[in-house]
Structure 1
């Protein structure tokens, strides 16, 4: 038999195998999340992000940050509003910030982030600065309440970019700051011991208070 006739099927088989291997390797980049490294789906392109996300997910830190943030939002108002073109704290805003500050002081292991917003009246650049001034006003208030500035991870201003109400005119609900849980204080002893659950569920029983019955209220008020 001709030598080329023998080698030709072998070459075709080798080429087919090489093509299949190439396709298999390229398909790895399109693997579903369950087949990829844990935390890879949260990667934003930063160096080391998959490793960091993997560590946070495996330790439970990421889940506990979410759980604590949900508790914060349930137990205190997270948003205050401002007067038009102002970063001054109104009496109503101060009352809410006192509630936030009292909650924050109960959790010294936790860090927070304040987001500043504006309505859409005015230039984008001016509103971004105004949003920052509003966030700074909240941070200054917390500092006067004895909360360390080091626990406020960042001052973020979205300016007019994320309105609650889509209108070009003045809108009080858009002139706001939002306080959120952002993470844990890395060097705190409790956090170093990985006691995230104890932090999240702290004081649930101790902070529970019995509501007075209707009869008790009537007796207290003289009926």
Structure 2
């Protein structure tokens, strides 16, 4: 009886796999997140993403702030996002997440929607500066989870969005070739000047000659 059950199990297993072609990649949904995480570690992808995230946080401001109960961008916020966009443009293989935060005033459900509106406002501004929406993701973080200042009162520093590196754009040729180091160590030219400025300077020099 036991032998018959074992044979039946082997037959059922073979039948379940019979629709797969020889050499066909395994369905990652069957393997779970652990396999994906292990592959990222083994390839160095995760370490490189962490290094690039550190560079981003060091070289440009990652945070903007908001008025109370408001998701509109003021002049200072737009200026910071413009700097972020200039950095992001020089790393087209990289994806980003924008996390929206609120202070602790108001209900959790209302603040969740407000935080998401703030994240979307920041994403929309980055898109308006030429960043592909497919590289950006608006996220929300509950005010209780990551406040900068522990208070139940109004606090501008808690009303913010934070832009972070989330990983690599999988379909980009450089990433497909596994050239993560080349991406991470690419120079970011913070002092680059717009072409219009160069044109004006060249015109001025020409007029002086």
Moved over 3 A (4+): none
Structure 2 residue runs without a partner (length 5+): 1-29, 192-209
Between structure 1 and structure 2, the one with the greater Rg is: 1
Residue in 1 that maps onto 2:147 = 163
The whole-number CA distance in structure 2 between the counterparts of 1:124 and 1:203 is: 42
Q: CA RMSD for the aligned pairs?
A: 1.4
TM, length-normalised to structure 1? 0.70
Residue in 1 that maps onto 2:103 = 119
Quick check: 1:98 aligned with 2:82? yes
The whole-number CA distance in structure 2 between the counterparts of 1:197 and 1:96 is: 27
Residue in 2 that maps onto 1:110 = 94
Q: What do the CA deviations read for 1:179-218 (whole angstroms, capped 9, x no partner)?
A: 00000010100001111000000016xx387xxxxxxxxx
The whole-number CA distance in structure 2 between the counterparts of 1:155 and 1:92 is: 20
Q: What do the CA deviations read for 1:127-152 (whole angstroms, capped 9, x no partner)?
A: 00000000000011011111111001
The whole-number CA distance in structure 1 between the counterparts of 2:31 and 2:182 is: 32
Quick check: 1:173 aligned with 2:157? yes
Asked if the contact 1:130–1:159 (Cα under 8 Å) also holds between the matched residues in 2, the reply is no
The correspondence for 2:171, drawn from 181, 187, 209, is 187
Structure 1 residue runs without a partner (length 5+): 1-45, 210-223
Are the structure 2 counterparts of residues 208 and 88 from structure 1 closer, same or farther at C-alpha, using a change threshold of 3 Å? closer
Quick check: 1:48 aligned with 2:32? yes
Residue in 2 that maps onto 1:21 = none
User: Greater relative contact order (Cα 8 A, min sep 6): structure 1 or 2?
Assistant: 2
The whole-number CA distance in structure 1 between the counterparts of 2:142 and 2:70 is: 13
The whole-number CA distance in structure 2 between the counterparts of 1:94 and 1:88 is: 10
